[in-house]
Structure 1
Amino acid sequence: MKQMGSLVRTIVFFTFFWLSVLILLPLGVLLFVLSLLGLKSFTDWVLIHLASWWAQGVIWGTGAQVTVEGLEHIPPRSGLCFIGNHPGDFDVILALAYIPRRFGFIAKKEVLFLPFVNLWVLLLGGLFIDRKNIAKGKRAIEQGAERIKKGASMIIFPEGTRSRGRGILPFKAGAFKLATLANAPIVPLVIHGSYSVWEETGLIQSVPVHLKFLHPIETAPLDAEARRALPKQVEALIREELDQLAG
């Protein structure tokens, strides 16, 4: 009986999820058009609140108990780069719900073929990266860095794929170019428990989830050697936090 209840809840949840993505899409397109007509400040404000409201509704629908720490570490203005571990798909929902700034995702190119989701990634200022094509991947990172230089914020998961409960995977150095090319601060992002929300069992589970923003790391004053050490440094910081949360 409990299994049947979880299955029904999961079906209802994903029906709401995809219908809401579809229903809100025309509004997102309208806001994008208005931004092109010179109303970017207004549309940015509406988009971030719309995305946050939607994501918080999704979280409520899962019953996940989310703890958020370190919001005070997020600079309110100027370009910056969020770099975090990537346990599961729910990470995107968490970021939309709790990051108090508009930001774009650096998403794998496969997302480009997901109906409706692909358009939302573009509307929010995201870019698609081809992990198998070094030249195209480099161009996507450079485009993201240019946006950060102009005051935008971006988020990237340097593991390159979801860890799916396998702990934390090695961070890829190329992801850090997003921040270093723009001389922008990095805000490390720690995510714990998100894989268990639905991917672990295939059913919606009301589980504890933890989201923590660490102190920003300024990249502008770093020399070449310090920049090369960044991937290991940030990975170690996030791994240490995950070990504490797991313990």
Structure 2
Amino acid sequence: MLVFRKARIFAHLLRGMFVVATRFPSASASVRLELNRAWSIEMLRLCGMTLVVHNDQARLDSGALVVGNHISWIDIYVVNAWRPTPFVAKAEVRQWPVVGWLAQQLGAVFIQREKRGDAKRIMHELSERLTQGELMCVFPEGTTTSGASVLPFHANLFQAAVSAECPVQPICLFYEDASGRQSTAPAYIDDLTLADTLNAMLRGAPLTAHLYVCDALAPGDDRRVLARDAQAAVELAMQRVRGGSKVAAAQDGQDDALVEVLTQERP
């Protein structure tokens, strides 16, 4: 059964390559976004996930630096199922079979973290794209975590938002199992491989991916202040999402009203 489910995921990745290669060249920007979003929604479904978006009315749709906590490679598909957004990824991702090619074709920017000068190059590219009205997504913790807490946000890439004089939109990612408790199954940490995390997710399904959209931070002139405020916003959002889980809601007798379900299991 697990082999069959992984085969369907691999087939979906190949379908993504076909769509990008054949339909993207002649498609409008809006059609590309919708194709990306629909493909990402299906990817989550095949991985046994439902996406729930909180506070979506705060969403900015252009000219903003999106920043959030980072748990797994599946985070990218969660963000794209919500609203397709090019992202900054470590250089190794470009070498991943299929996934790396798709990321490159969808506008990802690859950074060599071991080279200090590369951050400056990336910052300038991000600034130019933000100035042109694009959205860009960055995971400023600089690594993945279990999702239990938020690591300090590195301020370097926030300089792109300062230079472009654009707002910063923090988002919080949180994964939940069928019992309503936080799940670490998607966590791509320590010595785990991509295959290890995929197996863990499939075995742990059904899962819910929560994405909390924080209120945007106004353009600022100090990248360290922006990084600090963005981290604080994500930490507060994590508390809210964790408090709104099925377990907490049952204990408190409260429901989370600011929720939009974007993906559901099909028969």
Whether TM exceeds 0.5 here: the answer is yes
Q: Tell me which residue corresponds to 1:79.
A: 63
Structure 1 residue runs without a partner (length 5+): 1-7, 35-41
Q: CA deviation at 1:217?
A: 1.1
Q: CA deviation at 1:25?
A: 1.2
- Matching residue's letter, 1:87: I
1:25 paired with 2:7, answer no
| RMSD between aligned residues | 2.1
Q: CA deviation at 1:192?
A: 0.8
1:47–1:124 Cα contact (<8 Å) kept: no
Taking structure 1 as reference, are residues 105 and 46 closer, same or farther at Cα in structure 2, changes over 3 Å only? Answer: same
Taking structure 1 as reference, are residues 49 and 236 closer, same or farther at Cα in structure 2, changes over 3 Å only? Answer: same
After alignment, is 65-74 or 206-215 more displaced?
A: 65-74
Q: Tell me which residue corresponds to 1:39.
A: none
Q: Match of 1:189, SS?
A: strand
2:212–2:241 Cα contact (<8 Å) kept: no
Q: Tell me which residue corresponds to 1:90.
A: 74
Taking structure 1 as reference, are residues 50 and 33 closer, same or farther at Cα in structure 2, changes over 3 Å only? Answer: closer
2:16–2:39 Cα contact (<8 Å) kept: no
1:196 paired with 2:184, answer yes
Q: Tell me which residue corresponds to 1:242.
A: 238
1:85–1:190 Cα contact (<8 Å) kept: yes
TM-score, normalised with respect to structure 1: 0.82
Q: CA deviation at 1:33?
A: 3.7
Q: Tell me which residue corresponds to 1:171.
A: 153
Q: What fraction of aligned residue pairs are identical, expressed as a percent?
A: 24
1:162 paired with 2:141, answer no
1:85–1:168 Cα contact (<8 Å) kept: yes
TM-score, normalised with respect to structure 2: 0.77
1:67–1:210 Cα contact (<8 Å) kept: yes
2:64–2:167 Cα contact (<8 Å) kept: yes
Structure 1 runs of 4+ with >3 Å offset: 30-34, 194-201
After alignment, is 203-212 or 231-240 more displaced?
A: 203-212
Structure 2 residue runs without a partner (length 5+): 177-182, 188-196, 244-267
Q: Tell me which residue corresponds to 1:3.
A: none
1:44 paired with 2:36, answer no
- Matching residue's letter, 2:37: S
Instruction: Please point out which of 223, 229, 242 is paired with 2:225.
Output: 229
Listed one character per residue, the Cα deviations across residues 83-105 of structure 1 (whole Å, up to 9, x for unaligned) are 01112222111111011xx4211
Q: CA deviation at 1:202?
A: 2.1
Output the CA distance in 1 between the equivalents of 2:7 and 2:144.
24
